[in-house]
């Protein structure tokens, strides 16, 4: 490995400090380094600016939390550059290496002691009157939900053209295994091993208790239609990109053609991360 890009959380002094320490650490080992503070993608907007990651990069290091990681993942999208995250102490499932051990972990990685994990992403589009008006790629989830003061919304869901069910409630989460530990878990959805290839549908506060989360194979096409006049309904992609949904719009979700490639350090264990982050076994 000869060229690495480092993107660090903006407006966070400890992130900048650690990122520049990593920069010097890599340079001392004869590597080229591209380093930038992440751009301001705070809040939910229809579009987000991107940092142009150099084509020569052999890896992208993200210093921050899961929000920073998700935004940086958009910068590389369908490119094959692998990515790894350094967590600064929050509840991070994507940024798996902690700041205290990152130099030791990167030493192992540079010696070739690592694995590449492929995580599936989703391609999400909105169709209105037969035309595609919005498209976005997500690593975690696509969420259709109502505003705080809006009424219950009605959604019709089909799988590969076959009617699945009628959801009535606050909304619906469509997520990847990587995203199963995000909003999905808060809504009562299942935890899925992150390298699995499945799509999860989890209703948000369903009016009917029989509407439970359901898991489908990755090759299905999910289509969700707003079934009746509704106001203040939004499609949110990875919690950062939003698009307003009108009556009878169709949200279509399929597996993205290329996965995101994660660098997995030898000291990282998914089950240990779950136990640590979710406080399993603690009284």
Catalytic residues: 66
Burial of 216 (0-12, 13-18, 19+ CB in 10 A): middle
SS3 (DSSP) at 54? coil
The one-character DSSP state at 45 is B
107 phi-psi bin (left φ>0, alpha ψ -120 to 50, beta other): alpha
Cβ neighbours of 115 (radius 10 Å): 11
Give the helix/strand (H/E) hosting 75.
Answer: helix 66-76
Q: 31 — phi, psi (to 5°)?
A: -100, 150
Q: 265 — phi, psi (to 5°)?
A: -75, 155
Residues 167-170: contacts with CB under 8 Å, at least 24 apart: 167/203, 167/206, 167/211, 167/224, 168/206, 168/207, 168/208, 168/211, 169/203, 169/204, 169/205, 169/206, 169/207, 169/208, 169/211, 170/145, 170/146, 170/204, 170/205
């Amino acid at each position: 490995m000869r060229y690495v890009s480092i993107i660090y959380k903006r407006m966070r002094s400890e992130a900048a400090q650690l990122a520049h320490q990593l920069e010097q650490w890599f340079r001392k080992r004869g590597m080229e380094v591209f380093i930038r503070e992440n751009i301001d993608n705070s809040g939910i907007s229809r579009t987000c600016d991107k940092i142009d990651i150099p084509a020569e990069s052999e890896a992208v290091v993200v210093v921050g939390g899961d929000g920073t990681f998700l935004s940086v993942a958009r910068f590389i999208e369908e490119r094959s550059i692998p990515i790894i995250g350094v967590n600064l102490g929050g509840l991070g499932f994507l940024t798996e290496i902690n700041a205290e051990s990152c130099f030791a972990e990167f030493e192992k990685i540079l010696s070739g002691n690592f694995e590449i994990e492929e995580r599936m992403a989703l391609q999400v589009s909105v169709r209105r009157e037969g035309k595609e008006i919005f498209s976005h790629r997500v690593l975690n989830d696509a969420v259709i939900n109502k505003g705080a003061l809006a009424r219950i919304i009605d959604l019709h869901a089909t799988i590969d053209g076959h009617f699945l069910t009628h959801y009535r409630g606050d909304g619906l989460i469509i997520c990847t295994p990587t995203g199963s530990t995000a909003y999905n878990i808060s809504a009562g959805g299942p935890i899925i091993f992150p390298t699995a290839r499945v799509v999860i549908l989890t209703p948000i506060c369903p009016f009917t208790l029989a509407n439970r989360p359901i898991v489908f194979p990755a090759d299905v096409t999910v289509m969700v239609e707003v079934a009746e006049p509704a106001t203040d309904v939004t499609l949110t992609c990875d919690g950062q990109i939003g698009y307003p949904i009108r009556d009878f719009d169709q949200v279509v979700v399929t597996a993205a053609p290329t996965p995101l490639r994660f660098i997995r350090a030898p000291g990282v264990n998914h089950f240990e991360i779950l136990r640590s982050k979710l406080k399993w076994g603690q009284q």
